[in-house]
Amino acid sequence: MNSEIREEKPRDIAVRTFEFARRVVRLCQTVERSGVNRALVNQLLRAATSVGANVEEAQGGQSRADFISKMSIACKEARESHYWLRLLAAAEIIPESKLTTLIDEPNQLIAILTTIIKKSKAP
């Protein structure tokens, strides 16, 4: 398969988390924001955009401990994003078909962030 045609996920964690946030923002723009929907969509939006924001903060960390702390927060926010995506699908607020490619991304980010954190903690 030609690599120019094949869609690949970004390899850089900052790029990948930014792209995840962008995709969630676009998704949230399509959801009617009234009643319960508003609260749940706002929770997803906050968590998903926080993943990348904390990765960016980590890259400017003042120490290794600061870097690890920010990456750990990013990992927690990715877990929370996954929760809200699943809940929005289960509550039928967003059709699961719209979430097919997006709902697995937080799990992949968690795996990547966990690896980065473990490697950063190693002596």
Residue 1 domain-assigned?
no
What average pLDDT score do residues 13-34 get? 95
Residue 64 domain-assigned?
yes
Q: How far apart are CA 86 and CA 101, in angstroms?
A: 12
Query: pLDDT at position 123, please?
Result: 84
Give Cα 68 to chain centroid, integer Å: 17
Gyration radius of the chain over CA positions: 15
Number of structural domains in the chain: 1
- Whose tokens are 């609260």? That residue is 39
Question: How much is the pTM?
Answer: 0.87
Is the distance from CB of 43 to CB of 91 less than 8 angstroms? no
Q: How far apart are CA 39 and CA 20, in angstroms?
A: 20
Residue 44 domain-assigned?
yes
pLDDT at 115 over 90: yes
Instruction: Return the half-sphere exposure (C-beta side, CA atoms, 13 A cut-off) of residue 114.
Output: 9
The per-residue pLDDT for range 92-109, each reduced to its tens digit, is 999 988 898 899 999 999
Domain containing residue 52: CATH number: 1.20.1440.60
The per-residue pLDDT for range 25-83, each reduced to its tens digit, is 999 999 988 889 999 999 999 999 999 999 999 999 899 999 999 999 999 999 999 99
pLDDT at 117 over 50: yes
2-26 residues labelled b (16+ CB within 10 A) or e (exposed): eeeeeeeeeeebeebbbebbeebee
Residue 109 domain-assigned?
yes
Query: pLDDT at position 59, please?
Result: 93
Residue 70 domain-assigned?
yes
Residue 4 domain-assigned?
no
Query: pLDDT at position 10, please?
Result: 44
What confidence tier does 4 reach under pLDDT thresholds 50, 70, 90? Answer: very low
